[in-house]
Amino acid sequence: MTAGKVTVVDHPLVQHKLTLMRDVNTPTGQFRQLMREVSFLLAYEVCREFDTERVPIQTPLEAIQGIKLKGKKTCIITVMRAGNGLLDGMLDLIPSARVGHVGLYRDHKTLEAVKYYLKFPSQMKERVCITVDPMLATGNSAIEAVRQVKIAGATRIIFMCLLASPEGIKNFEMTHPDVPIYTAAIDRELNELGYILPGLGDAGDRMFGTK
Ligand code: URA
């Protein structure tokens, strides 16, 4: 299902796993494993955006024009720390991908994203850059992360998350209308603390067993 530049991956398996993740009784280890499985499935849909090219190959029986991915290796950019939970599943699917890191934390008073770390692979301009963070809440972190990815030279960027709020999508699209969003669901709203409702709580805390 695609609405504008937002794709909601409404595959039954994704929705089943997401429901398990929302459940407050799901323990840390299972939550982490589910995050890995859902990220694999979401990334599979994101890969539809990739360009391909025809290449001549020889099967054991005859010569054909096969299809391969075109261009430089994909770059996955994880927005630390919660984005790291999406990384392993994506690397299961795209093992040769390069990985960039954007370190951001949320100032709990202003809800603004504050940068503390940046590291990107070379030749960002030539790569499809998939920026990942599980929760598109206010949009501030995603907006800042993608801004940094653009400063690093990337021109083909996709944003992938697990849950999005309507407010976050609106904010994100105002700043980065050129960046498509992939998510498993769009929830109802944000609360006054910037948490997504009904949501799944703090994704980082649930994944890493912190409070
Ligand atoms: N970050 C989270 O981990 N959860 C939310 O609901 C919002 C932001």
**DSSP E strand boundaries for 9-142:** 52-58, 63-69, 75-80, 98-106, 113-119, 128-132, 135-136
Question: Residue 176: what pLDDT?
Answer: 97
Question: Residue 4: what pLDDT?
Answer: 53
> Tens digit of pLDDT for each residue in 43-98?
999 999 999 999 999 999 999 999 999 989 999 999 999 999 999 999 999 999 99
pLDDT, greater one: 116 or 113: 116
Q: Determine contact, residues 171/143, Cβ cutoff 8 Å.
A: yes
Give the model's confidence band at 112: pLDDT under 50 very low, under 70 low, under 90 confident, else very high.
Answer: confident
Nearest protein CA to atom 5 of ligand 1, as residue? 195
**Ligand 1 pocket mutation, candidates 161, 202, 208, 211, criterion most atoms within 8 A of CB:** 202
Place of tokens 């890493």: 208
CA 106 / ligand 1 centre spacing (Å)? 10
The answer to whether domain 2-50+69-208 has CATH 3.40.50.2020 is yes
Domain chopping of the chain, boundaries: 2-50+69-208
Looking at residues 148-175, what average pLDDT do you find?
97
Question: Residue 109: what pLDDT?
Answer: 81
- Residue 142 has a CB neighbour count (10 Å cut-off) of 30
Does pLDDT of 2 surpass 90? no
Work out which ligand 1 atom sits closest to the CA atom of 199. Answer: 6
Question: Residue 1: what pLDDT?
Answer: 45
Does pLDDT of 3 surpass 60? no
Does the CB atom of residue 31 touch ligand 1 within 6 A? no
